[in-house]
Structure 1
Amino acid sequence: MRSLVGLAVVVTAASLYLYYLSLYLPAGPRRRPRPGPEAEHVEGGESERSSDTSGELSRLKFPSDLEELRELAELLQFYKKEHTGYVLLLFCSAYLYKQSFAIPGSSFLNILAGAIFGPYEGLLLACVLTTVGSTMCYLLSQAFGKHYIVNIFPEKVSMLQKKVEDNRDCLFFFLLFLRFFPMTPNWFLNMSAPIVNIPITFFFCSVFIGLLPYNFICVQTGVMLSEVSSLDDLFSWQRLLQLLAIACVALLPGALIRRLSQRRLKLSVQNGLDADKKGQ
């Protein structure tokens, strides 16, 4: 009971912090006046700008589909011009909130990172935040959730424990394999890692390296999302070749890991975890 109260306090504090951070949305950069007679009505434009600010505040929410993602990306790109620090803090806080509490939808935030911060800064940011957020989930599980996770997922934890013990001599390599080819969801691996005695150093490094291809694909998707204005642009030969190159780069590490895993890892008994993967 004490662990549930502690977890509730952490979740409540994090939620209030994120909520109040969104309330301090700074004044946006001045928009360029539209050509034509509308540009003459300066006072009217100022009043419209203030009403737009309140409307933009209501748009600060986690995206649930591609259209909401595009709108949020445009809004944050607009604010990033003069309030880079605020946008960075807001994005990092929202990302860590999702990762720490194992809330689905981090792929949307990876795409958003590419749309807002570009291919290189976005990829670095996504990898760092994924790793830090997953580690925070590890620590929260270690502090508050061990008993409950074992009771809720006894078979999954038992199967993962067996595979970890079978591959204890090459544990880091096994963790990389799980990230490249998830036989169990990433959120479950984050929460159950301290229960099956995976060292936090191995866990931290395996998340950063193992999710790099996935983050790379999402960030590059976000970059293209911010550049295309229609479906014709998306399905042009240039974009299709770019997508092919991205897929090849992202799949190469996984192919190497799979080839090496046939020699080093003990993965013969996979029915429990594979069945779990199919059921997700």
Structure 2
Amino acid sequence: MRSLVGLLAVVAAASVYLYSLSLYLPAAPRRPPAAHRHHEESGEPADSSGEPSRLKFPSDLEELRELAELLQFYKTEHTGYVLLLFCSAYLYKQSFAIPGSSFLNILAGAIFGPYQGLLLACVLTTVGSTMCYLLSQIFGKRYIANLFPDKVSMLQRKVEENKDCLLFFLLFLRFFPMTPNWFLNMSAPIANIPITYFICSVFIGLLPYNFICVQTGVMLSEVASLDDLFSWGRLLQLLAIACMALLPGALIRRFSQNRLKLDVPSQNGLNTEKKVQ
């Protein structure tokens, strides 16, 4: 009971901090209505009133362009605050195993660019996952084992079977997840996975996923028309991104065929264990 109270206290303190930080969100630029944009394009004068732009996920090309403009505004005018708020929100999500990292990674690419965005996404993913590991180790071991007994037992067994090449086994789980990443973060201390191996596996293993999301955000911030979205240059860029993201997974899969002990489906549909010497 004491561990549950401690966890709730940590969640409450982090929630209050994040909420307090969000209260100081700088005002967004005012977006002119459609009629005003039409007058601007035709050179006619129009009323300068409009509604404030809002940060939301786009549902069409027009909203896509508006989001790109809004992100560029925040990047230029409020870089420090946006960086603090982004890092705080990312760590909050990762620490408490809240889904939604893909959207935050896309925002990282759109706001901070391909290189800074990727570095930021990888570092925050690693730090947040490590915080989740530590919270589970301090407060949640008993509860997680009671909530997911079968999954925890399977992970413990696989960790023990692959202890001679544990880092590569963890990388395999990140590239080809047998369980969701949030569950692996919480259950890793229960399975006695050393924190150093855990940190390395998160940073390296989630690099392709973070790379794809960040590059998507970069393209989101650069798109200006439908032609830009489906140009040959953009398609070649997407192909290069896919190849770079698939290469590490292919290398890990090749290694796993020779070294790792994994459950593979047999021809009759039953699960059997196989180790290739």
TM-score after normalising by structure 2:
0.84
Structure 1 residues 234 and 76: CA distance shift in structure 2, 3 A: closer
Tell me the residue number matched to 1:168: 163
Deviations 1:91-121 (A, max 9, x none): 0011111111111111000011001100000
In structure 1, C-alpha distance between the alignment counterparts of 2:242 and 2:4, rounded to whole Å: 42
More strand, by proportion = 2
In structure 1, C-alpha distance between the alignment counterparts of 2:157 and 2:14, rounded to whole Å: 35
Tell me the residue number matched to 1:16: 16
Structure 1 residues 138 and 270: CA distance shift in structure 2, 3 A: farther
Q: Is the 2:171–2:201 Cα contact (8 Å) retained in structure 1? A: yes
> Cα RMSD between the aligned structures?
2.7
Q: Is the 1:115–1:223 Cα contact (8 Å) retained in structure 2? A: yes
User: Structure 2, unaligned stretches of length 5 or more?
Assistant: 32-39, 272-277
Tell which deviates more after alignment, 75-84 or 187-196.
Answer: 75-84
Tell me the residue number matched to 2:255: 260
Tell me the residue number matched to 1:179: 174
What letter is aligned with 2:216? T
Structure 1 residues 156 and 181: CA distance shift in structure 2, 3 A: same
> Of residues 195, 200, 209 in structure 1, which corresponds to 2:204?
209
In structure 2, C-alpha distance between the alignment counterparts of 1:11 and 1:173, rounded to whole Å: 33
The reply on whether 1:221 has 2:185 as its aligned counterpart is: no
Deviations 1:60-119 (A, max 9, x none): 6xx6x5449956664343122122110100100111111111111110000110011000
Q: Is the 1:76–1:87 Cα contact (8 Å) retained in structure 2? A: no
In structure 1, C-alpha distance between the alignment counterparts of 2:87 and 2:69, rounded to whole Å: 17
Structure 1 residues 213 and 227: CA distance shift in structure 2, 3 A: same
What letter is aligned with 1:19? Y
Tell which deviates more after alignment, 227-236 or 106-115.
Answer: 227-236
Tell me the residue number matched to 1:128: 123
Percent identical pairs in the alignment equals: 81
Structure 1 residues 72 and 227: CA distance shift in structure 2, 3 A: closer
User: Structure 1, unaligned stretches of length 5 or more?
Assistant: 275-280
Tell which deviates more after alignment, 209-218 or 233-242.
Answer: 233-242
Q: Is the 2:152–2:187 Cα contact (8 Å) retained in structure 1? A: yes
Structure 1 residues 224 and 76: CA distance shift in structure 2, 3 A: closer
